[in-house]
Structure 1
């Protein structure tokens, strides 16, 4: 059967359902698997995708959404309150492993994260094609006028303003790090809460902005993402973190459905899923259900 990785048509109608991050369960009759997710829309949707595909394959799934930050959900996994959850490979290294030097490729990041997790009795399954990482966006008209391709090319625009969310100004992936890595001494920061950078950039209130690469707003505005050729943002593919004992017990019955879902999650697909949940106000459960059905997985 032909699979469609986007939700074209299926999610074109915005239902009057609010976004839900509640803890609940998904019906099933087989072995019990507890799936967790973090505290934002993309993680809720991926948690639902994992829970629903495993249910369709005969597991009895308990879904615990909105558990919390990386630190909190990691503790929940290691204390066996959950069995698996979606995590970003770069986050695993930056938050937990903290190597002296970060890998310089997406594959290298995945391998290093997997090696670290296996040292703790966990493992990673196949990662998604998409990454959700910080990036620098500009208006496409400016990119064309000034021939901008990389973040360093921003020097050609002279003095510019950069929208950054307050918590990230001094962080390793934020404004200060960008200025230092790319020598952008004439770039001034404008603190804006997450989400406000998009209308500010569109309206010309700022010249560039920190964005996340799967944000649905990137589908709606004529922006260009500049190449991070210094790789300061790292690599952030998503992989299910799962207790290794479960993989040994259930084998491909557990891993193949999760791998099948992850293989479909391109950047465009994840943007569409996020848009459906965050902007069209469909529940993550409904978004996941329609995506799996559209791709013949339910």
Structure 2
């Protein structure tokens, strides 16, 4: 599974052009399947005949699940839905929104702030980051609803077997209190060199990379994408770089350490609508403001793992989430 930051920079104009060509031909992705549902807490809105929404998402597991949640919600509300989830790349998905082709997507506050809006630095405060993105993107004709608790950002995690040996560590600030020999890290190459990566994170927590009395270079091991989880689980290091919603955190028994000095930028996910769509159908805000609070890091770790490890369809996993929370019911 590719990393979120890597996925942000892999989209190309060629892909985007191809996507718009598909749209012009009236085609939908082959993944447009969602189970049929009955009424739940989401009730049909008072809609004009032919009311329709086009919903898009990126093409990694978490986004596929969230996209299907949105499709199910919109159908339950009475809309005819064009399912354009599974778009290959962050930039093409964004173009569908800014061009007016798509009406709704789920986006991350930090991604929009840094990648789309061109900010030089992320904002660690979740509410502050959301407000900054919401206000800036309003000028692009996009309306951000309240963000979900889910914050898909960087973190360090420790395997459960090592926690007791390390004094039941729970936060990043406690690393500086450990003996130098225990300050060992497994990271990906990108995180190893990012401006919001390992070295500045260590500095924020009172540690210095390359200092024999702090974090010697030999204490840091760099791995290919995805291998960090296995290395941390096997005890190659005490602290492994992770993404906070990755299902492998649960599967491998890793504990995410609290970023108690709020170093890492916020990447909370939120429902984003074309402003004109939300103005035309204001009832959508009430529907998605009910769904978003249920989208937590703990929940998405479980849902992501069902797809990535269990091989389930994102649409089926999204359906179970919607039924479990009472938003819809199983079709009779």
Stretches of structure 1 lacking an aligned partner (at least 5 in a row): 1-20
- Which consecutive segments of 4 or more residues in structure 1 shift more than 6 A? 25-29
Match of 1:158 among 165, 175, 180: 180
CA distance in 2, matches of 1:30, 1:171: 48
Q: Deviations over 1:107-131 (max 9, x none)?
A: 1111111111112111101211221
1:139 equivalent in structure 2: 159
2:184/2:237 contact within 8 Å kept: yes
Paired residue secondary structure (1:36)? strand
1:179 equivalent in structure 2: 202
1:9 equivalent in structure 2: none
Stretches of structure 2 lacking an aligned partner (at least 5 in a row): 1-28, 38-48, 210-214
- Scaled by the length of structure 1, the TM-score of the pair is 0.84
2:58/2:87 contact within 8 Å kept: yes
* Per-residue deviation, 1:103: 3.4
2:81 equivalent in structure 1: 61
Bigger RCO (CA 8 Å, 6+ sep): 1
Give the total of aligned pairs. 277
- Scaled by the length of structure 2, the TM-score of the pair is 0.76
1:95 equivalent in structure 2: 115
Asked whether 1:257 is paired with 2:279, we answer no
Asked whether 1:269 is paired with 2:299, we answer yes
Asked whether 1:190 is paired with 2:196, we answer no
* Per-residue deviation, 1:23: 4.6
CA distance in 2, matches of 1:268, 1:70: 24
Larger Rg: 2
2:69/2:322 contact within 8 Å kept: yes
Paired residue secondary structure (2:264)? coil
1:146/1:157 contact within 8 Å kept: no
CA distance in 2, matches of 1:104, 1:53: 30
1:24/1:64 contact within 8 Å kept: yes
CA distance in 1, matches of 2:299, 2:163: 25
2:317 equivalent in structure 1: 287
CA distance in 2, matches of 1:36, 1:56: 17
Asked whether 1:24 is paired with 2:32, we answer yes
Paired residue secondary structure (2:165)? helix
Match of 2:253 among 204, 218, 222: 222
RMSD over aligned Cα atoms: 2.4
Alignment CA distance shift 1:285-1:25 (3 Å) = closer
